[in-house]
């Protein structure tokens, strides 16, 4: 095998780090700090921990202006994405609490990737609970092929890949999939069964995957106009739709089928 991997449990999921063999010695040096970055994000942003900054803000014990730099940065980014998606992505829950969960995992993953790259490690992939981020210096083609999960629970016999994307030479480095098969109706206002988004960074991919799950027509039109975003949608009835450039990323011999959402 031309690569090695290591798993880190954090933020309620498993992060799988894959490294080309040439990167393994450096990766072993950097992985402890990667785990610290994920753990710090979990402690700061968890909606399940009563002592997290998010929980303290929602109880009125901590003002946003007095929160950590990281939290204020994420809050600002969440606000920008709410505007950019015409409100389809929103960190304000229906119950009126502030919940940035829709952006935090991608933000933490992107932070780890930036740490790796800044320290000279770029032949890697990160699987963050099913969302994929590729390093900028991959040379092993297998690591640039990303499967799209079927819209069923991983416990089902049919939980293999729906299709495989080949991102080699595409400029795209991130794939995020949002859906209801594994975690149920956890996305506020979701009307679709599954959305997969391909982008240049994981935050962009993850936010649009969440936003498009609402089937918001304004968000759909905005995503179609994004030059560095491609996506596939799946309705509850099983109908597939996709942006014009998405099919170009399907690996040879793979098919998606369905209709064009709109040609770019």
Asked whether residue 21 is domain-assigned, the answer is yes
The arithmetic mean of pLDDT across residues 206-230, rounded, is: 89
Asked whether residue 223 is domain-assigned, the answer is yes
More confident residue, 153 or 224: 224
Asked whether residue 260 is domain-assigned, the answer is no
> Residue 237: which pLDDT band, with cuts at 50, 70 and 90?
confident
Asked whether residue 137 is domain-assigned, the answer is yes
Domain containing residue 234: CATH number:
3.10.520.10
Q: Which tens digit of pLDDT belongs to each residue from 108-167?
A: 999 999 999 999 999 999 999 999 999 999 999 999 999 987 775 555 555 556 789 999
> Residue 1: which pLDDT band, with cuts at 50, 70 and 90?
low
pLDDT at 244: 85
pTM: 0.89
pLDDT at 162: 76
Q: Is the pLDDT of residue 71 over 90?
A: yes
Q: Is the pLDDT of residue 221 over 80?
A: yes
pLDDT at 251: 74
Asked whether residue 207 is domain-assigned, the answer is yes
pLDDT at 168: 94
3-state SS of the chain is CCEEEEEEEECCEEEEEEEEHHHHHHHHHHHHHHHHHHHHHHHHHCCCCCCCHHHHHHCCCCCHHHCCHHHHHHHHHHHHHHHHCCCCCCCECCCCCECCHHHHHHHHHHHHHHHHHHCCCCCEEEEECCEEEECCCCCCHHHHEEEEECCCCCCCCCCCEEEEEECCCCCCCEEEEEECCCCCCCCCCCCCCEEEEEECCHHHHHHHHHHHHCCCHHHHHHHHHCCCEEEEEECCCCCEEECCCHHHHECCCCCCCCEECCCC
Q: Is the pLDDT of residue 219 over 50?
A: yes
Q: Which tens digit of pLDDT belongs to each residue from 6-55?
A: 999 999 999 999 999 999 999 999 999 999 999 999 999 999 999 999 99
Asked whether residue 135 is domain-assigned, the answer is yes
Q: Is the pLDDT of residue 256 over 70?
A: no
Asked whether residue 227 is domain-assigned, the answer is yes
The arithmetic mean of pLDDT across residues 218-243, rounded, is: 90
Total structural domains within the chain: 1
The arithmetic mean of pLDDT across residues 197-218, rounded, is: 92
pLDDT at 257: 46
More confident residue, 104 or 242: 104
The arithmetic mean of pLDDT across residues 201-218, rounded, is: 90
pLDDT at 160: 59
pLDDT at 212: 93
Asked whether residue 262 is domain-assigned, the answer is no
Per the structure, the complete domain to which residue 213 belongs is given by 3-254
């Amino acid at each position: 095998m031309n690569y090695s991997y290591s798993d880190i449990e954090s933020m309620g999921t498993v992060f799988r780090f894959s490294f080309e063999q040439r990167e393994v010695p450096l990766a072993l040096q950097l992985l402890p700090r990667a785990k610290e970055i994920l753990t710090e994000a979990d402690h700061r942003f968890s909606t399940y921990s009563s002592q997290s900054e998010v929980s303290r803000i929602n109880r009125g014990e901590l003002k946003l202006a007095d929160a950590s730099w990281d939290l204020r940065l994420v809050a600002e980014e969440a606000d920008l994405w709410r505007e950019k998606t015409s409100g389809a992505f929103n960190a304000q829950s229906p119950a009126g609490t502030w919940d940035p969960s829709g952006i935090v995992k991608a933000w933490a993953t992107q932070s780890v990737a930036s740490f790796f790259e800044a320290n000279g490690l770029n032949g890697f992939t990160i699987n963050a609970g099913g969302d994929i981020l590729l390093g900028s210096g991959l040379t092993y083609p297998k690591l640039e092929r990303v499967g799209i999960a079927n819209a069923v629970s991983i416990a089902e016999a049919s939980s293999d890949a729906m299709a495989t994307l080949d991102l080699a030479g595409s400029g795209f480095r991130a794939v995020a999939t949002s859906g209801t098969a594994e975690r149920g109706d956890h996305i506020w206002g979701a009307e679709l069964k599954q959305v997969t988004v391909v982008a240049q960074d994981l935050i962009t991919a993850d936010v649009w995957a969440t936003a498009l799950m609402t089937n918001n027509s304004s968000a759909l039109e905005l995503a179609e106009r994004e030059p560095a975003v491609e996506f596939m949608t799946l309705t509850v009835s099983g109908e597939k739709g996709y942006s014009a450039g998405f099919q170009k990323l399907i690996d040879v011999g793979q098919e998606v089928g369905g209709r064009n959402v709109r040609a770019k």
